[in-house]
Amino acid sequence: MPIHWLQHADFEDLGCIGPWLAERGHAVSGTRLYAGEALPDPADFEALIVMGGPMNIYEYAAHPWLRTEKALIRAAIDAGRRVLGICLGAQLIADVLGGPVRRNGEPEIGWFPVELNAAGLAEPAFAGLPPRFTAFHWHGDTYALPPGARGLAHSEACAQQAFSWGDGRVLGLQFHLEVTRDNAEEWLRHETLQPSRHVQTADAILADTDAFAANNAAMRAILERFLPAA
């Protein structure tokens, strides 16, 4: 399957998603938006993955490509493509579907539990996930649920942690199941954390290698259900 992905910063990549796509034989292409690369036509891919990034979806002056990126996401959805958004990606999808994005009540960075609601437990892409699991988070913004979308999960700090839209071919994840320990180390080199109720220290984030492995396993399980075989 031809799959295209959108990258917002040079230090934020696909994480464990990249090896999974290669193992499944998908034809993968990407756009480095921060480098000014041109966006594709939705006819060129069957699925779109919109990754995270340190910017906010409304920072048009600093990142003018956000407008054309949103247009591509909207066009991909309208063309019937499968679209997966993670963190910033989920917020961009929510925005183009009519769910406003705003600052969350507090930032959420580190390992915190996520709880699936009834819709989340029934979501095909989440089949096999436990009702409550610990996920890696790194966000300061949140979104309102878009019209027609199904809210799937929440955490103590954030009411909207995942949503699906339409027939389930559009999926947004606010949390980061794709992040490996190497990814987290790289992110921490680009930001100094200010620990608070829902912001952990760098040492706490990196301490549990098994947590990264469990998250990555959950990400792969979701991909197996969300993206058909190549």
Q: Flag whether pLDDT at 103 surpasses 80.
A: yes
Active site residue 26: no
> Mean pLDDT over all residues of the chain?
97
Six-digit token string for 35? 């480098």
Task: State how far the Cα of 56 lies from the Cα of 49, in Å rounded to an integer.
Answer: 17
Instruction: Work out the percent of the chain whose per-residue pLDDT is above 70.
Output: 100
| Mean local confidence (pLDDT), 153-171 | 97
Q: Flag whether pLDDT at 230 surpasses 70.
A: no
The set of residues, in sequence order, having a beta carbon less than 8 Å from that of 146 and lying 6+ positions away, is 93, 94, 97, 98, 99, 163, 165
Instruction: Work out the percent of the chain whose per-residue pLDDT is above 90.
Output: 98
Active site residue 176: yes
CA 92 to chain centre: 10
Task: State how far the Cα of 182 lies from the Cα of 60, in Å rounded to an integer.
Answer: 30
Longest dimension (CA), the chain: 45
Q: Which of 4, 139, 176, 198 is catalytic?
A: 176
pLDDT of res. 229? 78
pLDDT of res. 86? 98
Question: Does pTM top 0.85 for this prediction?
Answer: yes
List pLDDT tens digits, range 184-223. Answer: 999 999 999 999 999 999 999 999 999 999 999 999 999 9
Strand positions, DSSP E, the chain: 2-7, 27-32, 47-50, 82-86, 101-116, 132-143, 149-154, 162-165, 170-173
pLDDT of res. 129? 96
List pLDDT tens digits, range 52-66. Answer: 999 999 999 999 999
Task: Identify the band that residue 228 occupies on the pLDDT scale cut at 50, 70 and 90.
Answer: confident
Closest by CA position to 44, among listed 31, 54, 55, 32: 31
| Mean local confidence (pLDDT), 152-169 | 97
Domain extent, residue 167, equals: 2-226
Residue 145, SS3 per DSSP? coil
Number of domains in the chain: 1
Instruction: Using the Cα atoms of residue 39, residue 55, residue 174 and residue 151 in order, give the sign of their dihedral.
Output: negative
Q: Which of 87, 108, 123, 154 is catalytic?
A: 87
Active site residue 87: yes
Q: Which of 46, 69, 123, 178 is catalytic?
A: 178
List pLDDT tens digits, range 4-43. Answer: 999 999 999 999 999 999 999 999 999 999 999 999 999 9
- Beta-strand pair 101-116/149-154: antiparallel
| Mean local confidence (pLDDT), 76-96 | 98
Tell me if 154 sits within 8 A of 114, measured CB to CB: yes
**Domain CATH number, residue 156:** 3.40.50.880
Q: Flag whether pLDDT at 118 surpasses 90.
A: yes
